[in-house]
């Protein structure tokens, strides 16, 4: 899954410590929520600071949405070419010395995904239009316009089903390329590139049974 900023809120919440067990697993677009951490196993990103409450260390963790809790969509990328190719910390290098390249595609990934490198996550908590490439496209492909979107337990991956609603499903977007011939233009079936959703914002979690 990759997060695409279509018409998002003005600014994200910023960089927060990510649950260490989620490190390297966040690829963008999952729902993350502020939670209490186990101080014996959770380290924090030094430049993010140690966020605490009366009970101890706090961090953002993937999972389902709970009404009244601080959360949003994770804005972190996987390595280029995987799960939508959102990006990496330093981007990609095309070519190398004497025009050589070390991958078949000719693009060399520079650096790891940002959550694996820094242990942090950027959270978009304001209402707006976002695009997601779901890790399980079938989950969103089965939805109709205006259907509620929820986050799954543990992984925070978006789809239909129960739980507190995270967003409103808009539709499936395909054939967006402006620099190459689209599938539809050559008589092929168009391929879904991402699913636009309207994230309802941090303050408006609504129970699915309401």
Residue 210 lies in a domain: no
- The low-confidence residues of the chain, meaning pLDDT below 50, are 79-91, 99-104, 208-210
* φ, ψ dihedrals at 35, nearest 5°: -145, 165
**Structural domain range at position 82:** 3-204
Q: pTM value?
A: 0.76
Q: How far apart are CA 164 and CA 205, in angstroms?
A: 6
Residue 107 lies in a domain: yes
What's the pLDDT at 28?
83
What's the pLDDT at 127?
92
- Say how many domains are in the chain: 1
What's the pLDDT at 133?
77
Residue 115 lies in a domain: yes
- 9 token code pair: 């809120």
Residue 72 lies in a domain: yes
Task: Find, among 147, 135, 206, the residue nearest to 171 by Cα.
Answer: 147
What's the pLDDT at 184?
65
What's the pLDDT at 174?
80
Residue 22 lies in a domain: yes
Q: How far apart are CA 192 and CA 52, in angstroms?
A: 42
What's the pLDDT at 203?
62
What's the pLDDT at 177?
64
Q: How far apart are CA 144 and CA 75, in angstroms?
A: 25
Whole-angstrom Cα Rg for the chain:
18
């Amino acid at each position: 899954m990759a997060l695409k900023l279509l018409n998002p809120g003005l600014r994200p919440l910023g960089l927060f410590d990510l649950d260490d067990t989620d490190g390297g697993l966040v690829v963008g677009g999952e729902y993350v929520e502020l939670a209490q951490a186990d101080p014996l196993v959770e380290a924090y990103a030094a430049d993010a600071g140690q966020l605490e409450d009366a009970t101890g260390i706090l961090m953002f963790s993937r999972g389902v949405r709970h009404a009244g809790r601080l959360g949003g969509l994770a804005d972190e990328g996987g390595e280029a070419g995987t799960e939508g190719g959102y990006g990496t910390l330093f981007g990609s290098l095309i070519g190398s010395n004497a025009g050589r390249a070390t991958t078949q595609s000719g693009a060399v990934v520079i650096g790891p995904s940002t959550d694996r490198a820094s242990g942090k996550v950027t959270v978009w908590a304001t209402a707006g239009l976002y695009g997601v490439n779901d890790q399980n496209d079938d989950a969103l492909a089965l939805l109709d316009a205006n259907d509620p979107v929820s986050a799954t337990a543990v992984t925070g991956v978006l789809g239909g089903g129960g739980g507190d609603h995270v967003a409103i499903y808009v539709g499936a977007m395909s054939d967006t390329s402006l620099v190459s011939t689209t599938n539809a233009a050559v008589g092929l079936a168009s391929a879904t590139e991402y699913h636009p959703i309207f994230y309802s914002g941090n303050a408006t979690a609504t129970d699915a049974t309401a």
